[in-house]
């Protein structure tokens, strides 16, 4: 009997040894900043850092910006106070095109824009043109929209339009479409009422723009909302807050070049390698890598001199975003009859003939490359390639009974190749063309330069991206800062997907598993959460802090109607 | 009796999983108190489950055992990156087992069993980390088993039974498409057949050996209801969408694995009985969880499970304190069949240590009441399901109280 009691005692003893808790209970683990100090965190960047998504800056998008997510997680590791962002007062986004503002200060417009408007309005001078527009606002909006699309005025294009939402067409297809009408955000300075701002990110900002003073004008509307003074600089306003920690992401220097297919406001954009004269840059030009390095160095130097520690994000490979992978280069489907008719058309016959003549005369050597012959099935789209020699070949396509023929310019045209990337905006253009043409695409049309990132243009993008990232790596090293490899993160998402608690996130366009928003360029909130995790991991690894990550699934994805 | 049976049926549907996999070891209150040993013991009518061959060694003409267990269990999870913790909040359940054996003559006995060897009821919080994998599982199975036992020699008997397995499954998981969206798979009234074969040997007067084999039963759910709840209607109209209807049918199957058990028991003096069992469960049958949607075919999925066969080691002892009071103790150790890299929260399995104790009190010569207590310590493990990206630390605990009556005529 004694033995029995002994055994019982042993059993009860071993039972109580089974503690009802984890070996290391993470909920009780102290969160430490390590060697960093997160008291005041300031984020610097462009649209990606501002929380831009669905082609606009809007309230809930900003609230889920990656700096906002990081800041929330940093709070347990010693961050103090509210993390203030210049939140816009709209869920729809887009800036109200303030005609009053333009009328009052026409000199705020870039000269090239003024020139285009003058061309458009004929002999009338700008102020009178604008006062005409003000009298008829509906016509003015239409006119501006035409101006935008005709003259590719980049600054108006994205910033001034409300966000994309997913809409269902009659045949059931879910397509992203911008909300109708003009933008919703009235630009007014909110520094006095709400500032200073911890998220100092300004959409469309370039590396050399952080230190530039002023720019409280319509070319940088989002900075004019948050600037402390009319001669303030973004870096200056950041430094004023005595940041103990910062993040810096300057991803915009190669970005507009890529998404607008290498066009400029005035013609063709250029990779400004070796050209430090930033005043002469078009907004689409690729920044000189030396300028990029000097600009980043200046920012990091000033911030670290002021005692801040921080994290630098490198530049993702913009050619991997879904924006370039929705439309395939050879997506033009033709029947045998359509192909035959196009091949037999006067326009094509004379075009192909002219190529042969020019080649024989030694004036061009790429007739083969430009030669157009359609066949049944998948055909490459015809694209405008500004790197081709201009052969001045404009012709007309007859549209039949009584209608005017359509002019077509084949001066710098070739069939697309697998290495050419067509933009998401080409998809919109193709849809428009098809509906105009009675539901299907015609055979003979040209996708303009702005819709195509050619192989040569991709090379420029790749070269600049690589040089920027080399600079970022060595500068992060030099200043002892954390480096978040967003470039590798995007590659991983594209190649393998990124898993998060049962979900695999990819770079697919329009999917509940996508990290991208409806513009195909910027992340959605889940993508920003994944970015935030990558940045937090880099901070933890460098400074020995242990900021907790977030679950990307807890953030909103694309909104389905 | 009909009413009684249907009541029993309903009660038995609520079976939990706390053992490795979704195997439940609460099939006899006396055996449960002895670490759920019993393959090498001719104990009572619950031999229908443990070793049917033992029925013909039972002394009474009619033996009946009825047991009910009250089961409380909880699995705990913590994410090692977000540091968030969640625990299952599964309702208390009461699995029930009934056995009867009748001695036709000295050699031949027949028996009938009604028991719930497999089951799982897991409810994770709606907002928990792994919600896209599972929020709720309710897996039920009831085995109905007519049994015969034939004594070839005084030292050798054979047994076998036909298993009529009936099952139901309900699985829910959240979908990230839109807040509140979830997918529910539901199938009731699955019926499949299986069998049981066993052997009992008494080489020495004090020593009993047993072998028992239960066949695999594949619970195929064909044409179950698949509901896509709370999804926006637009998604079903999009031509390229994998989802074309909110009310679909699904095909899936879940193997209830075969099990080979060997056991022995040895009498020490007049009062002690020592027992040891070894179960080998063929969990490798569960290589993947496959769900095929009949309309939303593109949404069909296969998630690898790659479960491995496991051993369960059981030890038990019984001590006759007084002619009326018998005390029991036991221990078992039960491996998790799920590898760390394929672990899934549908069946939150851990390596378990089970500690058991209990007693029987003979109210009369014919009637005894049995009590048992089981504590299961599901050892903490670190899991990382690579294909789904689910990872973290997990441990589990369960408390079970068993109450039974044994009737011998």
pLDDT tens, position by position, B126-161: 999 999 999 999 888 889 999 999 999 999 999 999
Per the structure block, which two tokens stand in for B361? 């009190």
The model carries a pTM of: 0.88
Residue A78's SS3 state is: coil
Return the pLDDT at A465: 97
B375 and A174 within 8 Å at the Cβ level: the answer is no
* Residue A402: other Cβ atoms inside 10 A: 5
CA of B126: which chain A residue's CA is closest? A554
Could you give the CA distance from residue A84 to residue A68 in angstroms, rounded to a whole number? 9
Radius of gyration of chain A measured on its C-alpha atoms: 27
Residue A218's SS3 state is: coil
Return the pLDDT at B126: 93
Q: Are strands A482-484 and A309-313 parallel, antiparallel or unpaired?
A: parallel
* Residue A194: other Cβ atoms inside 10 A: 14
CB within 8 Å of chain A, chain B residues 196-235? 232, 234-235
pLDDT band at A432 (very low <50, low <70, confident <90, very high): confident
Distances (CA, A) of B9 to A174, B4, B73, B102, B167: 49, 8, 22, 22, 11
Distance of CA A428 to the CA centre of its chain: 17
Return the pLDDT at A219: 55
B234 and A561 within 8 Å at the Cβ level: the answer is yes
Average pLDDT, chain A: 86
Q: State the nearest Cα–Cα gap between A72 and chain B, in angstroms.
A: 12
Residue given tokens 């809409």 in the structure block: A167
Residues 6+ away with beta carbon under 8 Å from B368: B360, B361, B362, B405, B406, B408
pLDDT band at A400 (very low <50, low <70, confident <90, very high): low
pLDDT at residue B1 greater than cutoff 60: no
Q: Are strands B288-293 and B301-304 parallel, antiparallel or unpaired?
A: antiparallel
Residues 6+ away with beta carbon under 8 Å from A138: none
Widest CA span of chain B, in angstroms? Answer: 77
Residue given tokens 């479960």 in the structure block: B307
Phi, psi of A380 (to 5 degrees): -70, 145
- Judging contacts by C-beta atoms under 8 Å, the chain A residues touching residue B131 are 502, 553
More confident residue, B16 or B117: B117
Residue A385's SS3 state is: coil
Residue given tokens 């540091």 in the structure block: B83
pLDDT band at A137 (very low <50, low <70, confident <90, very high): low
Q: Are strands A382-384 and A446-447 parallel, antiparallel or unpaired?
A: parallel
Per residue in B173-222, pLDDT tens?
999 999 899 999 999 999 999 999 999 999 998 999 999 999 999 988 89
Residues 6+ away with beta carbon under 8 Å from B109: B55, B56, B58, B101, B102, B103, B148, B149, B150
Mean pLDDT of A347-355: 93
C-alpha closest to that of A556 among A76, A16, A59, A25: A59
User: What DSSP assignment string belongs to A311-364?
Assistant: EEE----GGGSGGGTSS-TT-EEE-HHHHHHHHHSHHHHHHHHHHHHHHHTTS-
A·B CB contacts under 8 A:
112
Could you give the CA distance from residue A478 to residue A485 in angstroms, rounded to a whole number? 17
Q: State the nearest Cα–Cα gap between B132 and chain A, in angstroms.
A: 6
Residue B54's SS3 state is: helix
A503 and B240 within 8 Å at the Cβ level: the answer is no
Return the pLDDT at A139: 53
C-alpha closest to that of B97 among B13, B207, B221: B13
Nearest to A503 among B76, B132, B178 (CB): B132
Phi, psi of B30 (to 5 degrees): -65, -45
Nearest to A20 among B78, B393, B397 (CB): B397
- DSSP-derived letter for residue A559 is P
Return the pLDDT at A487: 97
Could you give the CA distance from residue B334 to residue B36 in angstroms, rounded to a whole number? 11
Per the structure block, which two tokens stand in for B306? 């790659």
Return the pLDDT at B274: 95
Per residue in B319-362, pLDDT tens?
999 999 999 999 999 999 999 999 999 888 999 999 999 999 99
Q: State the nearest Cα–Cα gap between B408 and chain A, in angstroms.
A: 28
Whole-complex ipTM: 0.86
**Of the candidate ranges A94-108, A188-202, A206-220, the one whose mean pLDDT is the lowest:** A94-108
**A72 contacts A533 by C-beta, under 8 angstroms:** no
Mark out chain A residues that contact chain B at CB-CB < 8 A.
Answer: 1, 4, 7-8, 11, 14-15, 18, 20, 22-27, 29, 166, 168, 171-174, 498-504, 512-513, 533, 548-551, 553-554, 556-557, 559-561
Distances (CA, A) of A79 to A27, A36, A307, B275, B382: 19, 11, 16, 61, 31
Residue environment code for A111-131, b if the CB has 16+ CB neighbours within 10 A, otherwise e: ebbeebbeeebeeeebeebbe
Return the pLDDT at A149: 47
pLDDT band at A36 (very low <50, low <70, confident <90, very high): very high
Return the pLDDT at A135: 55
- How many CA within 13 A on the CB side of residue B309? 10
C-alpha closest to that of B25 among B252, B287, B259: B259
What ranges in A17-136 are assigned the alpha helix state H? Answer: 47-50, 59-63, 66-74, 99-104, 111-120, 126-135
**B300 contacts B291 by C-beta, under 8 angstroms:** yes
Mean pLDDT of A245-264: 92
pLDDT band at A142 (very low <50, low <70, confident <90, very high): low
pLDDT at residue B4 greater than cutoff 60: no
Residues 6+ away with beta carbon under 8 Å from B258: B213, B214, B215, B216, B281, B282, B285
Phi, psi of B353 (to 5 degrees): -110, 125
Nearest to B377 among A18, A503, A561 (CB): A18
Residues 6+ away with beta carbon under 8 Å from B197: B158, B159, B160, B212, B213
Per residue in A444-487, pLDDT tens?
888 988 899 999 999 999 999 999 999 999 999 999 999 999 99
Q: State the nearest Cα–Cα gap between A43 and chain B, in angstroms.
A: 22
Tell me if the bond preceding A196 is cis, omega within 30° of 0.
yes
pLDDT at residue A122 greater than cutoff 50: no
Mean pLDDT of A33-60: 96
Residue B332's SS3 state is: strand
pLDDT at residue A145 greater than cutoff 80: no
Could you give the CA distance from residue A201 to residue A205 in angstroms, rounded to a whole number? 8
Residues 6+ away with beta carbon under 8 Å from A353: none
Per residue in A497-546, pLDDT tens?
999 988 899 999 998 899 999 999 999 999 999 999 999 999 999 999 99
Per the structure block, which two tokens stand in for B149? 């036992």
Mean pLDDT of B283-291: 93
| Interface test mutation site (partner A, options B381, B388, B389, B394, max chain A beta carbons within 10 A) | B389
**A527 contacts A498 by C-beta, under 8 angstroms:** no
Average pLDDT, chain B: 90
**Of the candidate ranges A25-39, A209-223, A238-252, B344-358, the one whose mean pLDDT is the lowest:** A209-223
CA of A173: which chain B residue's CA is closest? B238
CA of B378: which chain A residue's CA is closest? A18
* Residue B337: other Cβ atoms inside 10 A: 24
Per the structure block, which two tokens stand in for A485? 């490899």
Return the pLDDT at A18: 60
- Judging contacts by C-beta atoms under 8 Å, the chain B residues touching residue A551 are 79, 82, 84, 129
Return the pLDDT at A502: 85
CA of B395: which chain A residue's CA is closest? A22
Count Cβ atoms within 10 A of the Cβ of residue B203 and give its class: 0-12 exposed, 13-18 middle, 19 or more buried.
exposed
Distances (CA, A) of A93 to A90, A302, A374, B406: 6, 33, 43, 75
B389 and A501 within 8 Å at the Cβ level: the answer is yes
Could you give the CA distance from residue B44 to residue B54 in angstroms, rounded to a whole number? 9
């Amino acid at each position: 009997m004694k033995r029995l009691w002994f055994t019982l005692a042993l059993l009860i003893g071993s039972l109580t040894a089974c503690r009802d808790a984890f070996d290391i209970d993470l909920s009780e683990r102290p969160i430490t900043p390590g060697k960093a100090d997160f008291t005041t965190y300031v984020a610097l960047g462009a649209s990606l850092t501002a929380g831009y998504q669905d082609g606009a800056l809007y309230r809930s998008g900003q609230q889920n910006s990656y700096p906002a997510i990081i800041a929330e997680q940093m709070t347990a590791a010693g961050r103090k106070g509210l993390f203030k962002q210049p939140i816009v007062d709209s869920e729809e986004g887009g800036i109200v095109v303030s005609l009053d503002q333009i009328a009052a200060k026409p000199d705020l417009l870039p000269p090239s824009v003024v020139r285009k408007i003058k061309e458009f309005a004929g002999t009338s001078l700008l102020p009178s043109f604008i006062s005409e527009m003000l009298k008829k606002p509906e016509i003015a909006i239409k006119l501006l929209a035409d101006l935008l699309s005709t003259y590719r005025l980049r600054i108006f294009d994205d910033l001034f339009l409300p966000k994309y939402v997913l809409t269902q067409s009659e045949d059931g297809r879910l397509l992203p479409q911008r909300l109708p009408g003009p933008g919703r955000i009235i630009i007014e300075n909110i520094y006095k009422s709400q500032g200073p701002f911890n998220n100092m990110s300004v959409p469309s900002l370039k590396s050399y723009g952080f230190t530039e003073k002023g720019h409280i004008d319509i070319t940088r509307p989002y900075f004019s909302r948050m600037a402390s003074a009319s001669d303030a600089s973004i870096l200056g306003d950041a430094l004023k807050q005595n940041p103990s920690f910062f993040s810096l992401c300057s991803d915009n220097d190669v970005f507009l070049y890529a998404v607008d297919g290498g066009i400029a406001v005035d013609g063709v954009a250029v990779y400004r390698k070796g050209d430090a004269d930033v005043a002469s840059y078009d907004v689409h030009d690729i920044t000189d890598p030396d300028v990029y390095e000097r600009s980043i160095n200046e920012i990091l130097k000033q911030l670290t001199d002021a005692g801040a520690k921080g994290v630098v994000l490198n530049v993702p490979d913009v050619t991997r975003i879904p924006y370039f992978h929705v439309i395939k280069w050879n997506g033009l489907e033709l029947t045998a009859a359509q192909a035959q008719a196009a091949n037999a058309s006067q326009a094509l016959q004379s075009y192909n003939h002219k190529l042969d003549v020019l080649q024989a005369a030694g004036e061009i050597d790429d007739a083969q490359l430009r030669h157009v012959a359609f066949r049944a099935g998948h055909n490459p789209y015809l694209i405008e390639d500004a790197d081709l020699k201009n052969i001045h070949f404009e012709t007309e396509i007859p549209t039949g009974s009584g209608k005017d023929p359509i002019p077509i310019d084949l001066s710098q045209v070739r069939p697309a190749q697998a290495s050419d990337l067509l933009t998401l905006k080409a998809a919109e253009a193709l849809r428009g063309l098809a509906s105009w043409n009675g539901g299907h695409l015609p055979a003979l049309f040209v996708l303009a330069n702005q819709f195509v990132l050619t192989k040569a243009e991709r090379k420029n993008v790749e070269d600049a991206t690589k040089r920027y990232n080399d600079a970022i790596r060595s500068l992060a090293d030099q200043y002892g800062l954390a480096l978040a490899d967003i470039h590798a993160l995007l590659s991983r998402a594209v190649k393998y997907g990124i898993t998060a608690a049962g979900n695999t996130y990819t770079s697919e366009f329009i999917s509940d598993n996508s990290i991208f928003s409806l513009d195909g360029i910027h992340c959605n909130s889940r993508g920003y959460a994944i970015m935030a995790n990558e940045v937090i991991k880099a901070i933890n690894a460098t400074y020995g802090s242990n900021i907790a990550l977030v679950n990307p699934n807890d953030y909103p994805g694309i909104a389905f109607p | 009796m009909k009413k009684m049976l249907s009541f029993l049926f309903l009660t038995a549907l609520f079976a939990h999983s706390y053992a490795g996999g979704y195997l439940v070891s609460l099939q006899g209150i006396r055996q449960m108190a002895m670490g759920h040993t019993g393959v090498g013991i001719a104990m009572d009518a619950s031999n229908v489950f443990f070793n049917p061959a033992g029925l013909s060694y039972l002394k009474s003409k009619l033996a009946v055992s009825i047991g009910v267990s009250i089961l409380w269990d909880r699995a705990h999870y913590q994410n090692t990156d977000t540091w968030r913790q969640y625990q299952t909040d599964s309702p208390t359940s009461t699995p029930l087992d009934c056995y009867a054996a009748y001695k036709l003559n000295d050699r031949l006995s027949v028996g009938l069993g009604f028991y719930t060897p497999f089951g799982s009821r897991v409810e994770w919080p709606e907002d928990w980390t792994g919600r896209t994998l599972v929020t709720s599982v309710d897996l039920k199975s009831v085995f109905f088993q007519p049994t015969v036992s034939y004594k070839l020699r005084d030292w050798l008997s054979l047994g076998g039974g036909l298993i009529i397995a009936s099952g139901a499954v309900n699985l829910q998981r959240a979908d990230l498409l839109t807040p509140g969206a979830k997918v529910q798979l539901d199938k009731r009234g699955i019926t499949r057949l299986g069998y049981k074969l066993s052997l009992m040997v008494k080489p020495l007067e004090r020593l009993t050996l047993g072998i028992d084999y239960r066949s695999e039963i594949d619970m195929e759910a064909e044409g179950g209801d698949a509901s896509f709840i709370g999804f926006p209607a637009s998604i079903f109209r999009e031509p390229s969408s994998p989802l074309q209807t909110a009310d679909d049918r699904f095909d899936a199957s879940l193997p209830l694995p075969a099990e080979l058990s060997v056991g022995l028991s040895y009498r020490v003096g007049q009062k002690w009985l020592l027992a040891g069992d070894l179960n080998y469960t063929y969990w490798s049958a569960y290589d993947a969880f496959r769900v095929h949607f009949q309309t939303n075919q593109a949404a069909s999925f296969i998630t690898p499970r790659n479960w491995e066969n496991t051993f369960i080691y059981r030890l038990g002892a019984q001590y006759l304190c007084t002619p009326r009071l018998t005390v029991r103790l036991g221990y078992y150790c039960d491996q998790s069949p799920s590898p760390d890299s394929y672990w899934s929260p549908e069946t939150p399995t851990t390596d378990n240590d089970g500690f058991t104790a209990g007693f029987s009190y003979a109210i009369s010569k014919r009637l005894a009441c049995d009590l048992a207590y089981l504590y299961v310590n599901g050892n903490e493990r670190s899991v990382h399901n690579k294909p789904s990206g689910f990872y973290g630390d997990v441990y589990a605990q369960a408390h079970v109280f068993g109450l039974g009556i044994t009737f011998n005529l």
